[in-house]
A and B are shown apart, each in its own frame.
Chain A
């Protein structure tokens, strides 16, 4: 069965050993509060359908040869939130997301970054568009001059409550994960997770039937850039000590007003 076949693993980049959980707690909103705000829907709109493929909106991202998974995940989260807010798609700077996270982390060289660094970029520093700070072919954290960073997001505090994570995903919110990556999770359908391995960060968003979709940053990995996780396997990943899951929502996203279309 294709689901049993292990998929290739490419560059990682989640600095799992350097994750700063107290900073994540201080910089995020209580998850239940964020979910409550997101649930305050307006009348006369349909229930958001989460059982559909997300890559009709944009192509899968590809971190190529840099350990920039966390930056790619963060840039993708911004793109998703911007579409949820405005209905429009913009591509956000993966380079800014990665290198600014590293700056916050104090990590030098192509040695990855943390979710707490990413949260600081998202909530305090702000992010720019890909056109203003393009992703280089190889590691180069040189910041272009004169860039503005007008896009910001709200994040939740990290949670190891699988029910909360699934509730967020069922609502159409997204989760940035930082997990130990190994053969148990590098499959078309992940049915059982055992922790350990190098750190990798991806985005969980949408579903395929009952299963939760992971959006990776390895181009057309597994044919469409994604794999799926059964609810049980997702629960295992969330509970695994050392893994980190942060819910993001479009509520209170800051962005320059789009021009009329």
Chain B
């Protein structure tokens, strides 16, 4: 087993993303590795790995998830994982009682849960393989970019701000009004002035602007009169593109937290506030 780990340790680092949340004595480490498969009778000889002539060596990337419980002895330690965002269970190959190998390409969430006595839990994010390729550029150019701030001036941490800015028509009046709506939408998630949700599994509630941020957004934006039909159509296109940017952003992050929704709404607002600025 130690030989296997040594072989795996002869590697370059591959990209890994870890998003741990943990407390108490349970500790989880993630070590990115490359490994070589297809080896027959491998042996180490100094700096060389000797293999049979029948071997068909190929490289692969992976990660080792190492679990340690410190001084505390738990009766049960469970390790499981799922791929984001499909939530398909990801296969973990048990190397030994403390180490697990992840070979499936993608972004995964690995949870380690220890109990008896008490409980402890650590969750880490593991990425195996190359980063997701960015979305290809849209085939049609966006509606004319308003003058003023360039793309580098637009906050784009969620990959939404730039889409909101570049697809906005040259209509600072409406842009300012819509910006306020997005800022107010964000504040509902912190109870300002009341609590609203993004979506609910109660279908009737999900359509109620008194409860739902998205229903409230739709209503408030519809209340703003738009008399220039061409600009109205452009704003309609804008909403579609921004909605698509929200979906892509959630997929890239795995999912949004409430905090993410707050920040993303404000990113749209900040981008709109720059429309028409010299």
Report which A residues bind B (CB closer than 8 A). 26-27, 29, 33, 37, 42, 44-54, 56-59, 83-91, 123-124, 129, 131, 152, 154, 172, 251-252, 254, 256-261
Q: Which residues of B contact A58 (CB under 8 A)?
A: 200, 202, 205
Closest Cβ–Cβ distance, residue B265 to chain A (whole Å): 10
Per the bound structure, the CA–CA distance linking A50 and B194 in Å amounts to 9
Q: Which single residue of chain A is at the shortest CB-CB distance from B109?
A: A257
Are A124 and B257 CB-contacts (below 8 A) given A259-B85, A261-B214, A261-B247? no
A50 CB contacts on chain B under 8 angstroms: 191
Which residues of the other chain, B, contact A83 by a CB distance below 8 angstroms? 195, 197, 258
Q: B214's closest neighbor in chain A, by CB? A: A261
Contact B191 A90 (CB under 8 A): no
B182 → A minimal CB distance (Å): 14
Using known A-B contacts A52-B195, A85-B257, A86-B256, determine if residue A131 contacts B87 with beta carbons closer than 8 Å. no
Q: How far is the CA of A165 from the CA of B208 in the complex (A)?
A: 33
- Asked if B139 CB lies within 8 Å of chain A CBs, one says no
User: Nearest 3 CB-CB pairs, A to B?
Assistant: A49-B191, A257-B255, A89-B200
Contacts of B210 in A (CB 8 A): 56
Residues on the A chain within 8 Å of B211, using CB? 56-57
Residue of A58, A87, A129, A256 with most partner-chain B CB within 10 A: A87
B240-261 interface with A by 8 A CB criterion: 246-247, 250-251, 254-259, 261
Complex interface: chain B residues within 8 A of A27 (CB): 118-119
CB contacts (< 8 Å) of B115 on chain A: these are 124
Across-interface contacts of B205 in A (CB, < 8 A) = 58, 89
A residues in contact with B261, CB < 8 Å: 87
B107: min CB distance to chain A, Å: 10
Q: Hey, which chain A residues are within 8 Å of B202, CB to CB?
A: 58-59, 89, 91
> B187 contacts the other chain (Cβ, under 8 Å)?
yes
Is B141 interfacial (CB 8 A cutoff)?
Answer: no
- CB-nearest residue of chain B relative to A89? B200
A64 to chain B, nearest CB (A): 18
Digit string of B82-126 for contact with A (CB within 8 Å is 1, else 0)? 101101000000000000000000000101000101110101000
Interface centre among A26, A83, A89, A154 (most CB of B within 10 A): A89
Asked if residues A56 and B23 are in contact (CB atoms below 8 Å), the reply is no
Task: Assess the B21–A252 pair: CB atoms within 8 A.
Answer: yes
| Minimum distance in angstroms from A172 CB to a CB of chain B | 8
Of all chain A residues, the one with the shortest Cβ separation from B210 is A56
**How many residues of chain B get a CB closer than 8 Å to chain A's CBs?**
47
Instruction: Kindly identify which residue among B87, B190, B259 contacts A47, using a CB–CB cutoff of 8 Å.
Output: B190
- Do B190 and A257 have beta carbons less than 8 Å apart? no
Contacts of B82 in A (CB 8 A): 256
Q: Look across to chain A and name the residue whose beta carbon is closest to the beta carbon of B249.
A: A260
Separation of A171 and B59 alpha carbons in the complex (Å): 51
User: Is the pair B201, A129 in contact by a Cβ cutoff of 8 Å?
Assistant: yes
Q: What would be 28 A-B contacts, judged by CB atoms less than 8 Å apart?
A: A26-B118, A45-B190, A45-B262, A45-B263, A48-B191, A49-B190, A52-B195, A53-B195, A54-B195, A56-B196, A56-B210, A57-B195, A57-B196, A58-B200, A58-B202, A59-B202, A83-B258, A85-B257, A87-B189, A87-B256, A88-B198, A89-B200, A91-B202, A251-B21, A252-B21, A256-B87, A258-B256, A261-B250
Contact indicator B198/A46 (Cβ below 8 Å): no
B233 within 8 A of A: no
- Nearest residue in A to B252 (C-beta to C-beta)? A260
Q: Which residues of B contact A172 (CB under 8 A)?
A: 191
Note all chain A residues with C-beta closer than 8 A to B199.
Answer: 88-89, 261
Residues of chain A within 8 A of B123, CB atoms compared: 252, 254
A257–B85 contact, CB under 8 A? yes
Contact A42 B259 (CB under 8 A): yes
Chain A CB within 10 A, most for which of B85, B255, B261: B255
User: Given A87-B198, A254-B111, A44–B263 Cβ distance below 8 Å?
Assistant: yes
A44–B251 CA distance with the chains assembled, in angstroms: 23
B193 lies within 8 A of chain A by Cβ? yes
- Contact in complex: A26, B191 (CB < 8 Å): no
Interface centre among A57, A59, A123, by most chain B C-beta atoms within 10 angstroms, is A57
Instruction: Using A27-B118, A48-B191, A91-B202 as known contacts, say yes or no to A260 and B247 having CB atoms under 8 A apart.
Output: yes
Residues of B within 8 A of A37 (CB): 23
In B220-278, which residues have CB < 8 Å from any A CB? 246-247, 250-251, 254-259, 261-263
B192: interface (CB < 8 Å): yes
Among residues of B, the one whose C-beta sits closest to the C-beta of A46 is: B190
| Complex Cα spacing A50 to B256, Å | 22
Residues from chain B with Cβ under 8 Å of A42 in the complex: 259
Q: Is the CB of B191 within 8 A of A261?
A: no
When C-beta atoms are compared, the residue in chain A nearest to B87 turns out to be: A256
Decide if A56 touches B194 in the complex (CB within 8 Å).
Answer: yes
Q: Which of B84, B187, B194 has the most CB of A within 10 A?
A: B194
Taking a contact as CB atoms under 8 Å apart, the answer to whether A87 and B251 are in contact is no
